[in-house]
Amino acid sequence: MIYITGGSSGIGLAMGRVFAAQGAHLLLLARDEQKLKDAGRTVEKSRRSHTQKVGTMSLDVADPAAVKKKMKIALDIYGAPDILINSAGINKYADHFENITYDMFDEVMKINLYGPRNMIHTLLPVMKTGKGHVVILSSAAGLFGMFGYTAYGTSKAALLGLSDSLRYELKPLGMKLTVICPPEVDTPMNIDEAKTLPQEGRAVKSLGGFLTPEFAAKVIIKAIAREQYLYIPGASTRFLYLLHRLSNGWLTRMTSDAVIRRARKKMGK
């Protein structure tokens, strides 16, 4: 059984389709009930067998009380997850830091960081028995700083910190943890982001490449099957991360600074 948060769209939905084609039982979790119903029907069409379970459940992962309540119901119906995929996230407030209020920042942190925390903390006791696999979707924005990403980037970098520490606790239990850091993926989240993302941020973001949800889902699932700890989809982003590590961040900062200067010049600034 595989639980997927953020399962109604984007990478979460694409992963649901791929897993269904491989014969897995699935529970898709997201806030919007109508989108979930549509997603459930889409995933059912990808099933290898009609005996496969494809369940849906409305859930706000940012609400710890709701997570505990809904996961108790889910466990009674579907059983403990063998794989828990934390894919839910938002990037509504990609903007200059001075324009991001405390409440905006808090909303991003509660969904992107506290959401995975709530799910993992709630399900860990039952997943220990089956030596389950925890998957956390961070982002390339967690590996590198980026113009306009003070909220989103902070939440995704924090997920890397959570993953690094949690891995040490899960390994002695025989459990696996995989953290994923994709570049830009063609998902509905980009629509929210585009409303406020500064042009400088758009220019820098283009350095990492652009993936389809279908491609991202397939390569991420392969990384999960390999029990890989850190996986970065996309050759361009992997190369940038290599430069970043080898230069202690100097090369990526220099490159981003140059791209930002060029973008601002085009803007007449």
Average pLDDT over the chain, rounded to whole?
Answer: 95
Q: Is residue 11 part of a domain?
A: yes
In a domain, 57, yes or no: yes
How many domains is the chain partitioned into structurally? 1
Residues 141-164: tens digit of each pLDDT = 999 999 999 999 999 999 999 999
Whether 39 contacts 13, CB under 8 Å: yes
Among 35, 110, 156, 205, the one annotated catalytic: 156
pLDDT of residue 26: 98
Q: Give the percent of the chain with pLDDT over 70.
A: 100
Domain boundaries, position 26: 2-235
Q: What does the pLDDT read at residue 38?
A: 96
Inside any domain, residue 140: yes
The residue-averaged pLDDT of 238-257 equals 94
Residue pLDDT, tens place only, 21-45: 999 999 999 999 999 999 999 999 9
Structural domain includes residue 253: no
Q: Which of 8, 138, 139, 256 is catalytic?
A: 138
pLDDT value of position 120? 98
Structure confidence by residue, pLDDT tens digits, 154-206: 999 999 999 999 999 999 999 999 999 999 998 888 888 888 999 999 999 88
**156 tagged catalytic:** yes
Asked if pLDDT for residue 92 goes beyond 90, the answer is no
- Bin 2: left if φ > 0, else alpha if -120 < ψ < 50, else beta: beta
Residue 16's pLDDT band (cuts 50, 70, 90): very high
Residue 64 in any domain: the answer is: yes
Catalytic residue among 93, 114, 152, 231: 152
Per residue in 110-136, pLDDT (tens digit) is 999 999 999 999 999 999 999 999 999
Overall average pLDDT of the 210-233 stretch: 96
For the domain that residue 74 is a member of, what is the CATH number? 3.40.50.720
